[in-house]
Structure 1
Amino acid sequence: GKNINYLKNKTGAHVSLSNSPFTPDYQICQVVGNQSEVDDALAMIRRKFPVQDYPLLTMMPVNMSQQPVIIQPEHQLILPEVMQLSLPEGVSVDVFVSAIVDAGHLFVQQPTHRSFMSLEKLNYFLNLVYSQDPNVPCVPSPVESGIICVCENDGFWYRAMIMSPEDENGDSQVKFVDYGGYAMMAVSSLKQIRADFMSLPFQAVECFMANVTPNQNEQLFSNEA
């Protein structure tokens, strides 16, 4: 309250806070005014919350309407440690197995994590936006490993991370960051992600089973395993 009023008085911009629609852990700051007022307010906010002390505070604009606000190419590389959930050490937690790569490699979700309940809402809006707007830009080429994108699989749209450069067939391997698993996808089908779809942490945690290996004469796990 006091900080917001100070911003209003110093810059002339109207400043307000609202909860993110995808996770209660984040809030969205709305700044309304002419360009000079908005620039001054954003500069004051960043000085109040320097990036070295508040790395999760992003100045990326968001738009909750149907018009996409696309993360620009120079901002597309996302730090996995910032967005990626992990399993807590030293305690037991309930998990769902969401994808199996092989007998020793799987992905799990944490249904008791406070952000998990927002996944269904994110999926709804993600599919609403990307299934209705064919003009959402594709990921710029050449693609790089680590870029977060949106891709269609079995009729549904998912957040994904590009894992490999484009091959001679025009495909790249992607990892589905909320459900797990890998797939080869045509680079031409990979869409840029809206900034407002980046507020929810990636839900799928990649796990490898300890002390589990293929049979002595096998390099890979069999389907039976």
Structure 2
Amino acid sequence: MARKKEMENSQDKMQTPQKHLVGRLIGKQGKHIGFLKQLSGAKMYVSTLPYTHELQICHIEGTKVQVENALTLIRKKFKDLDLSNRRCHVQPLPSLPITSWLLLPQDRPVEVIVPRVEAPNYLFVQQHTHPTYYALRSLNEQMLFCYSYPGCPSLPTPVEAGVVCAAPSADGAWWRAQVIQHYKDSDTVQIRYVDYGGYVTVNLSALRQIRSDFVALPFQGSEVMLENIAPLPGKEEFSLEAKEALEELTQGVPLIIKVTGSQSGLPLVHMWRQAGEEMISVNGLLVERGLCSWLDSH
């Protein structure tokens, strides 16, 4: 939902589990919902929550007067419909409640996959066996469908750090992202993809406001650091070969990690990959290959 500079916008949401009601609301070939939009002046669309197909949400966007006009028209057609199950937002995007990140367990090993490697000791993981992970593909499909059409509102300015938005990915998809910093001189924004990891800088104009139902799913990407891994002795930075080795060791295979502590607010983890019936330490392989050293050996 957005608040534009010229007028206050409002958005109502009605949870509508009955499919026949949704059909009546939309009408044959979308004629009835088109009639409601034309008569009220409000924008209206129906969506399914990304992690359940039992509930559908009718979104009504516009000024307060436009939204109330649309609700009045809906009441006339659905005299027995209870409209008390609705939520109204009249605040800019930054005030929307943001779901928590999917946290890593602290007391046991967990299976993960790696969508992105940032450095030989720093990467993003996803808990691909967690029940919420399976809804991510459906969410991505819905976001692609939504943001492929023109007219989706841009982010209000000035953009605050921490705001969650919809951002295009390198392969043409639309992913959930979080604003890290707004560079006002160039009107660019550094963002972090909250499900797949990675920090990129994009033009502010490329970002879109995110629908509140698109943030119902916990953010799936967790930043972690490999414990006890450091550059080679005498080197201040890791080599490109070390990063490429970690990408090769983690690409396309399930891995096991265990949180062992934290550093700079990020979980420290030990990581293993399976080789036959044996579990091999990824941390150890980087050292054995002469690409990294143990931190305690410095």
Whether the TM-score (by the shorter chain) exceeds 0.5 is yes
The answer to whether 1:171 aligns with 2:188 is yes
Distance 1:134 1:104, change over 3 A: same
Unaligned runs of 5+ in 1: 1-13, 46-58, 62-69
| Residue correspondences, number | 185
> Normalising by structure 1, what TM-score?
0.69
2:167 maps to which of 147, 151, 161: 151
8 Å contact 1:71–1:195 — kept in the other structure? no
1:138 maps to which of 154, 162, 165: 154
The answer to whether 1:21 aligns with 2:64 is no
What RMSD in Å do the two structures reach over aligned CA positions? Answer: 3.5
Name the SS for the 2:84 alignment partner: helix
8 Å contact 2:102–2:220 — kept in the other structure? yes
Give 1:117 shift: 0.7
2:200 maps to which of 152, 176, 183: 183
Name the SS for the 1:137 alignment partner: coil
Q: Percent identity?
A: 31
Which residue number corresponds to residue 107 of structure 1? Answer: 124
Code of the residue aligned with 1:22 in structure 2: it is P
User: Which of structures 1 and 2 has the larger relative contact order (alpha carbons within 8 angstroms, sep 6+)?
Assistant: 1
Unaligned runs of 5+ in 2: 1-13, 19-47, 59-69, 76-80, 243-298
Larger Rg: 2
> Normalising by structure 2, what TM-score?
0.53
Distance 1:107 1:126, change over 3 A: same
1:102-143 deviations in whole A, cap 9, x for unaligned? 011111111111111111100111001101x22111111111
What is the rounded CA distance, in whole Å, between the counterparts of 1:166 and 1:109 in structure 2? Answer: 29
The answer to whether 1:116 aligns with 2:133 is yes
What is the rounded CA distance, in whole Å, between the counterparts of 1:15 and 1:194 in structure 2? Answer: 15
The answer to whether 1:93 aligns with 2:76 is no
Q: Quick check: which one's strand share is greater?
A: 2
What is the rounded CA distance, in whole Å, between the counterparts of 2:183 and 2:230 in structure 1? Answer: 31
